Amino acid sequence: MSTISQGNQNGNQESSSSCEKLVKEYRERVMSNYRPMRRELYQMNPNRFFVPSFLNAITENTEEGFRNIISEPSPGILTFDMLQPDFCKLLLDEVGNIENWLHETRFRIMPPNTMNAYGAVLDDFGLETMLAKLMEDFILPMSTIFFPEVGGATLDSHHGYIVEYGKDRDDHLDLHVDDSEVTLNVCLGEQFSGGELFFCGVRCDKHINVESEPGEIVTYSHVPGRAVLHRGRHRHGALSTTSGHRVNLLLWCQSSIFRQLRKYEKEAPSWCGACRKEKEERQLRSSAALNLELQKLLGVRPTSSETDSTSP
Ligand SMILES: O=C(O)CCC(=O)C(=O)O
Ligand SMILES: [Fe+2]
């Protein structure tokens, strides 16, 4: 496996206050020049944005209710129908409008992250408030239930953007982890083939390059309106979009409390597949050693397999 990197939002790398000021100025410049096309998008409107099955599960707000609408092709990869076709169309129109504006004014914008060249940061275009509501009212209830061990119950900031793949756009996305605790990835359309997401297991910083176990490798084919929710540390990438044009909405959801606590945490994280495997192996070795010790005390001759299992 080649070296895996973390995707970051541009201008957010341990940002100094002068860098923060520049980012703020940049956003103000975009927003004072850009004229939104689909103003309906800029205010949260649940009945217009989301499909009824998703809204019902949010209202019920129980694990069972969410499980009724979710498929989980591999542990921690949750997929479910989320966006109305009408909402996808509105957002695609707005993306088209952003592109036309960029073309006409030759305004240069920051790419969506350090990995994708095509797309746009929606927060920079005035959608920050709507996306904050999306996270607080519609992602937080699910991540509180499914991802509490990675700060899923304390999400308090986000990075919301669009990515675009196809001819004259990005082709694929290399294996990476996100700068998020929990990531929402929803396909908006349009017509395309390829572009499947692939996942290779959850890893902490120390184990980011540790090989996948066979059961950890899974692919998922995007369907317009359908969401994928996963931990940011779940290693993943996107295969080549072989024809057509694929546009996805991404929301990297972050928890400042979780990030602070991680700095002082001594214990190996339970959510890292490699940490879990190391712990299981340690437990196996110590129980085999104890077994051997007891057998010696009782004068029982150990079998060769029992003596082998204690060797490192
Ligand atoms: O292209 C995709 O669907 C994946 C995008 C992604 O993983 C990301 O932006 O972090
Ligand atoms: Fe990603």
CA of 169 to the centre of ligand 1 (A): 14
Contact assessment for residue 121 and residue 214, using Cβ atoms and an 8 Å cutoff: no
Mean pLDDT of 165-177: 96
pLDDT at site 304: 65
CA of 238 to the centre of ligand 1 (A): 7
pTM: 0.91
Q: In the chain, what percentage of residues exceed pLDDT 70? A: 94
pLDDT at site 141: 98
Nearest atom, ligand 1, residue 250 CA: 9
**Confidence class for position 269, pLDDT limits 50, 70, 90:** very high
pLDDT at site 17: 78
Q: Residue of the nearest CA to atom 6 in ligand 1?
A: 237
Q: Residue of the nearest CA to atom 9 in ligand 1?
A: 250
Burial class (CB in 10 A: 0-12, 13-18, 19+), 39: exposed
Burial 47-79 (b: 16+ CB within 10 A, else e): eebbbeebeebbeeeeeebbeebbeeeeebbbb
pLDDT at site 13: 55
* Residue 180 CB less than 6 A away from ligand 1: no
CA of 294 to the centre of ligand 2 (A): 50
> In angstroms, rounded to a whole number, what is the distance separating the alpha carbons of residues 231 and 185?
11
> In angstroms, rounded to a whole number, what is the distance separating the alpha carbons of residues 230 and 287?
34
Q: What is the pLDDT of residues 116-143, one digit of tens each?
A: 999 999 999 999 999 999 999 999 999 9
Nearest atom, ligand 1, residue 187 CA: 3
> Which residue has 């940061």 as its token pair?
121
Burial class (CB in 10 A: 0-12, 13-18, 19+), 285: middle
**Confidence class for position 265, pLDDT limits 50, 70, 90:** confident
Q: Which residue has the higher pLDDT, 68 or 215?
A: 68
CA of 251 to the centre of ligand 2 (A): 10
Which ligand gives the minimal distance to the CA of 162? 1
* Residue 9 CB less than 6 A away from ligand 1: no
Q: Residue of the nearest CA to atom 10 in ligand 1?
A: 178
> In angstroms, rounded to a whole number, what is the distance separating the alpha carbons of residues 151 and 140?
10
> In angstroms, rounded to a whole number, what is the distance separating the alpha carbons of residues 102 and 166?
19
Q: What is the pLDDT of residues 136-169, one digit of tens each?
A: 999 999 999 999 999 999 999 999 999 999 999 9
pLDDT at site 311: 46
Mean of all residue pLDDT scores within the chain = 93
For 107-172, give the DSSP string.
-----SSSS-SSEEEGGGGTTHHHHHHIIIIIIHHHHHHH-GGGTTT---EEEEEEEEEETTSB--
Most confidently modeled range among 24-28, 193-197, 300-304: 193-197
Pick from 195-209, 229-243, 295-309: least confident: 295-309
Q: In the chain, what percentage of residues exceed pLDDT 90? A: 84
Q: Which two tokens stand for residue 257?
A: 């409390």
